[in-house]
Chain A
Amino acid sequence: ETGVTQSPTHLIKTRGQQVTLRCSSQSGHNTVSWYQQALGQGPQFIFQYYREEENGRGNFPPRFSGLQFPNYSSELNVNALELDDSALYLCASSLGGSNNSPLHFGNGTRLTVT
């Protein structure tokens, strides 16, 4: 069984730039959720994709966008980066798009915006 993989592991960007983070879901999982985790805080829900459609969104501005592909992998795109976007970005896969299936996380991408 292949777990959730994320790339890149670390990234440094400048304010105003754009970034794309990638995630491959665990085999057999059709749902991908993205979270932002700032230091000392719990993960904050960005959005979830189920069968290539957005299936719920947290309190993040439209410059945070995403995609899910037919193989259930996913991308998180952030435009016009701000210093406060510096955080650990976590991708989690689960099964079925329901709220009862536990999340399985990847190792995360640590983004630093300077």
Chain B
Amino acid sequence: RKEVEQDPGPFNVPEGATVAFNCTYSNSASQSFFWYRQDCRKEPKLLMSVYSSGNEDGRFTAQLNRASQYISLLIRDSKLSDSATYLCVVNPSPTNTNAGKSTFGDGTTLTVKP
């Protein structure tokens, strides 16, 4: 089983739709969480951090459920420009063996169509 798992999709949605992605992680001691966006053949870019209380940035909302060990990303009013692969990232509580290690999911691909 992978440490971080995402539904690969693809998710094909019309403009204006609301879409949600989930990401599960196996290490209960994980400390911090992020969502990144990666366009085709480009580098990943930070979309938002995920806080325990949940957080919102415009049309994007991130949630963390520590008890069930998953994080989610909700995109409202989808735009064509939201088409990309969305990667969740989980950082462990630092110890000597995993210092610096950020674990990425394999990504969920979103295509927003006119």
List A residues at the B interface (Cβ < 8 Å): 31, 33, 35, 40-45, 47-48, 50, 55-56, 58, 90, 97-100, 102-108
Question: In the docked arrangement, what's the CA distance between A50 and B104, Å?
Answer: 20
| B98–A107 CB distance below 8 A | no
| A43–B44 CB distance below 8 A | yes
Question: In the docked arrangement, what's the CA distance between A47 and B102, Å?
Answer: 10
Interface stretch of the complex, out of B61-69, B74-82, B87-95? B87-95
| B44–A99 CB distance below 8 A | no
| A45–B46 CB distance below 8 A | no
* Given A40-B106, A43-B44, A107-B42: A102 and B100 interface contact (C-beta under 8 Å): no
**For chain B, which range describes its interface: under 10, 10 to 19, 20 to 34, or 35 or more residues?**
20 to 34
Q: What per-residue 1/0 map shows which CB atoms of B8-21 lie under 8 Å from chain A? A: 00000000000000
What's the minimum C-beta distance from B62 to chain A, rounded to whole angstroms?
13
Question: In the docked arrangement, what's the CA distance between A31 and B100, Å?
Answer: 9
| B106–A56 CB distance below 8 A | no
Question: In the docked arrangement, what's the CA distance between A108 and B40, Å?
Answer: 13
Contact among B46, B98, B107 for A103, CB-based, below 8 A: B46
| B43–A48 CB distance below 8 A | no
Q: What per-residue 1/0 map shows which CB atoms of B91-114 lie under 8 Å from chain A? A: 111100111111111110000000
What's the minimum C-beta distance from B48 to chain A, rounded to whole angstroms?
9
Instruction: Collect the chain A residues with CB atoms within 8 Å of residue B107's CB.
Output: 41-42
| A48–B44 CB distance below 8 A | no
